[in-house]
């Protein structure tokens, strides 16, 4: 769209001038552009462009770019559902194992005997008046116990973000305590475990905040495990993310792992009938089979 806003009519004219086959009714294209937006769809028809001047490859169709957009949405919806399950389970393990280990200190997350000082110093940036206002159970706790600086871990961590709880896990001083939790997911190496969860949070944020998923490249390569060996570009591709999620969800529930793989497989298979989308599934997503 350049530096100047333009109308739907002009947007359609620009697409025609650049060689995109408007193979669905113009009325539907107008509806789509008003619904999704020209700029956002640009992340999906970008794959069909021949050069930096945004000229389209011969035979490129509006309907194919739209299919790619909806494939991306479908994959994000599937992934978010299972990542939420992983997040809840990880939070539960963190609260249960560490709170019982330090059962004489209900706010162990603020105790430099148990967590690193950098975390304790930064805690007020997260646990502040806004945090108390936003979360009813925390607010009620402080109304009942006004002298408490923090609510106990089993209350506090329930309302903290996935990212916060992973930082807390990383800050635990006792490596053996960390290993107790990582081992529940079939990972003995705590550093690998933390790197895996950083990737999971990275993907979750893309899904939650409307990012583009299909051609994602993870900023840090995914470390393979015997349970999910990675090949080729899997360490940075969405296909590698599928394998990562399937491993962790499988440690929580074998049935949920089966469900996840079936949903991914069926969604990609449903879209593989299109030659261009099938090419994207193979080259961008890197998908062959995650089973």
pLDDT digits (tens, 9 = 90+) for 11-52: 999 999 999 999 999 999 999 999 999 999 999 999 999 988
50 and 101, same domain (yes or no): no
Assigned domain for 279 exists: yes
Report the alpha-carbon distance of residue 232 to residue 141 in Å, rounded: 51
Contact 162, 87 (CB under 8 A): yes
122 and 163, same domain (yes or no): yes
Assigned domain for 291 exists: no
pLDDT of residue 231: 80
- Strand ranges (DSSP E) for 76-145? none
262 and 148, same domain (yes or no): yes
**Overall domain count for the chain:** 2
Report the alpha-carbon distance of residue 83 to residue 100 in Å, rounded: 26
Assigned domain for 2 exists: no
Spatial neighbors of 173 by CB under 8 A, at least 6 apart, are 113, 114, 115, 116
32 and 156, same domain (yes or no): no
Assigned domain for 101 exists: yes
**pLDDT category of residue 290 using cuts at 50, 70 and 90:** very low
Report the alpha-carbon distance of residue 166 to residue 164 in Å, rounded: 5
Q: What are the pLDDT digits (tens) for 228-280?
A: 888 888 999 999 999 999 999 999 999 999 999 999 999 999 998 888 999 99
Report the alpha-carbon distance of residue 86 to residue 88 in Å, rounded: 6
20 and 134, same domain (yes or no): no
pLDDT of residue 172: 98
203 and 279, same domain (yes or no): yes
Q: What are the pLDDT digits (tens) for 80-127?
A: 999 999 999 999 999 999 999 999 999 999 999 999 999 999 999 999
Q: What are the pLDDT digits (tens) for 186-228?
A: 999 999 999 999 999 999 999 999 899 999 999 889 999 888 8
Three-state secondary structure call for residue 212: coil
Largest CA distance in the chain: 71
129 and 239, same domain (yes or no): yes
215 and 275, same domain (yes or no): yes
Tokens representing 44? 């999906």
35 and 81, same domain (yes or no): no
Its pTM stands at: 0.92
180 and 36, same domain (yes or no): no
Containing domain of residue 214, as a range? 69-283
165 and 212, same domain (yes or no): yes
94 and 184, same domain (yes or no): yes
User: At residue 289, does pLDDT exceed 90?
Assistant: no
């Amino acid at each position: 769209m350049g530096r100047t806003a333009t109308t739907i009519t002009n947007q359609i004219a620009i697409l025609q001038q650049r060689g995109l086959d408007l193979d669905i009714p113009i009325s539907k294209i107008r509806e789509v552009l008003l619904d999704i937006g020209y700029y956002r769809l640009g992340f999906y028809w970008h794959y069909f462009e021949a050069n930096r001047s945004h000229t389209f490859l011969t035979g490129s169709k509006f309907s194919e770019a739209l299919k790619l957009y909806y494939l991306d949405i479908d994959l994000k919806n599937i992934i978010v559902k299972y990542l939420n399950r992983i997040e809840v389970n990880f939070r539960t393990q963190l609260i249960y194992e560490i709170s019982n280990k330090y059962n004489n200190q209900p706010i162990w997350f603020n105790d430099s005997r148990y967590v690193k000082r950098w975390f304790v110093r930064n805690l007020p940036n997260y646990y502040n008046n806004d945090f108390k206002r936003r979360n009813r159970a925390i607010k009620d706790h402080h109304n009942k116990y006004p002298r408490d600086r923090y609510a106990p871990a089993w209350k506090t961590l329930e309302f903290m973000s996935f990212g916060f709880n992973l930082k807390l896990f990383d800050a635990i001083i006792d490596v053996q305590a960390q290993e107790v939790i990582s081992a529940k997911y079939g990972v003995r190496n705590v550093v690998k475990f933390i790197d895996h969860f950083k990737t999971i949070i990275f993907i979750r944020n893309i899904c939650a905040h409307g990012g583009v998923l299909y051609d994602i490249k993870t900023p840090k390569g995914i470390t393979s495990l015997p349970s999910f060996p990675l090949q080729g570009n899997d360490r940075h591709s969405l296909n590698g993310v599928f394998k990562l999620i399937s491993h962790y969800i499988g440690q929580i529930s074998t049935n949920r792992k089966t469900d996840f793989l079936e949903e991914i497989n069926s969604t990609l298979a449903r879209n593989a009938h299109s030659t261009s989308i099938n090419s994207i599934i193979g080259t961008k997503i890197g998908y062959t089979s995650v089973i």
